[in-house]
Amino acid sequence: MVFKDKEAGKTINGLYVGVKLNGNKDKGAKEFQKKYAVIGYPTVLLLKDDGTEVDRIVGFGGTKDAYLQKLRNYAAGRDTLKSLLDEEFVNASDPELQYKLAQKYVSHYAFGKAAEHFSRVLELDAENKLGHRTEAQFYVALGKARDGNIKELETLLASSKDINYLQMGSGVLIKCYTKNNEVDKAVQMFDRMLKLSPDDTSLMNKFAWTVYKQKWSNQYAHAIEIAGRAVELDPKAAAIWDTLSWLYAANGNQEKAIHAMEHAIAVDPNEPLYKQGLEKIKGGKS
Amino acid sequence: MKRLLFLLVLGSLMACQGSSPIDQSTNAVEGVAFIRAALDQAMTRAKSENKLVLVDVYSDT
């Protein structure tokens, strides 16, 4: 944790006054998060003493050195969202500036805002002299898909081989397909992703759990096979044993369901949900 | 005895006056000195010390 580090303490304490805010518990936290549009945890907001946002860092990630350099830059007013927005005020038709703003919003997970600026990049650099077209097209399509218009993203991903775009885009598409109960399309997208990342046990569990939760009964056997492969790859993954157990129960195999849930409990004996799950399954619930 | 009680009360009053809302559980000895959930106080301090405010919004759930 970078904030407990001695060097980080020295650097940050010299530039910032630090405040910890528990987003779920502290007084005024809800209002604060609404005012600054905080969308997830952890989010580190960097503010002027009048409350103006200078920039923010969303999520974990990056090395300690990179993190501290970012905080030094922001304290000096370099590369901040505010400095880019100020620049945009006088130079809105600069495509590179629009690109920097778009990237800044991507780093904040503010994909709607990012899509707006990527659209400007496409308009202002129609001949793709800066080489940002593919990235801009992806984020514009992603922005539309998040609003429910998935056609553009579907077309783009159908021919894309970029694993990053596929991972981000498939997540949004799967959510839309699931919401619309388009089971075949959702399963095809999962299968495509699993072919690209055959050892990704987290993705396997996501697929299997989606099948169980959505009650896609014609996919139970397929999901059991996928979850079974996942626990072979990672036998210490209690959550996947739990998924497998519920799938067996839903598919009418109580004996295997009990066996799988007992595995989950053996791996993580402190998780009460697995013990409760075992009781429910023994009682005939699926 | 009376004097001892007086000293105890005085001592506890002084301790209260000097206390800050720094959250010891999240304030590592050598790390960042965080103030707990006191934005107004942080803004005032930032102004007087010519610093920015760093707000770490987190969740423990």
| A123-127, A282-286, B21-25: least confidently modelled range | B21-25
Which 72-111 residues of chain A touch chain B by CB within 8 A? 74-75
What's the confidence (pLDDT) of residue A284?
A: 83
Distance between CA atoms of residues A158 and A170, nearest Å: 10
- Put simply, whether B40 touches A (Cβ < 8 Å) is no
Q: Are A264 and A245 within 8 A, CB to CB?
A: yes
Q: pLDDT tens for residues B37-57?
A: 788 999 999 999 999 999 999
Mean pLDDT over A82-93 rounds to 94
A17 vs B26, B31, B46: nearest CB: B46
Report long-range pairs for A156-164 (Cβ below 8 Å, ≥24 apart). Answer: A162/A134, A162/A138, A163/A196, A163/A197
Class of domain A1-79: alpha beta
- Contact status of B61 with chain A (Cβ, < 8 Å): yes
Mean pLDDT of A126-132: 97
Sort out which chain A residues have CB atoms less than 8 A from B51's CB and list them.
15-17, 49, 75
Which of B30, B56, B61 is the mutation pick for testing A, counting most A CBs within 10 A? B56
C-alpha of A59 from chain center: 10
**Residue A216's pLDDT band (cuts 50, 70, 90):** very high
A4 vs B contacts (CB less than 8 Å):
28, 30-32
Question: Would you state the pLDDT for residue B31?
Answer: 83
| Interval A155-168 mean pLDDT | 90
- Say if residue A48's pLDDT is above 80: yes
Tell whether pTM > 0.90: no
Which of A20, A31, A39 is the best substitution to test chain B (most B C-beta atoms within 10 A)?
A20
Rounded CA-CA distance A118/A107 in Å is 14
Model pLDDT, residue B29: 54
As for the ipTM of the complex, it is 0.71
Token pair 């099948």 is found at A211
| C-beta of residue A226 within 8 angstroms of C-beta of residue A250 | no
Is the minimum CB–CB distance between A258 and chain B shorter than 8 Å? no
Q: How far apart are CA A45 and CA A175, in angstroms?
A: 29
Asked whether the predicted pLDDT for residue A180 surpasses 70, the reply is yes
| Bridge partner list, A58 | A43
For the segment A43-55, the average pLDDT, to the nearest whole number, is 94
With contact defined as beta carbons under 8 Å apart, do A148 and A176 qualify? Answer: yes
Mean pLDDT, residues B14-27 taken together: 38
* pLDDT above 70: residue B20: no
pLDDT higher than threshold 60 for residue B27: no
Q: Do B23 and A20 touch (CB under 8 A)?
A: yes
- Minimal C-alpha gap between B30 and chain A (Å): 5
Q: Is the pLDDT of residue A150 over 70?
A: yes
Residue count of chain A, please give it. 286
Q: Does B14 touch chain A (CB under 8 A)?
A: no
Over residues B3-7, the mean pLDDT reads 43
So where are chain A's domains? 1-79
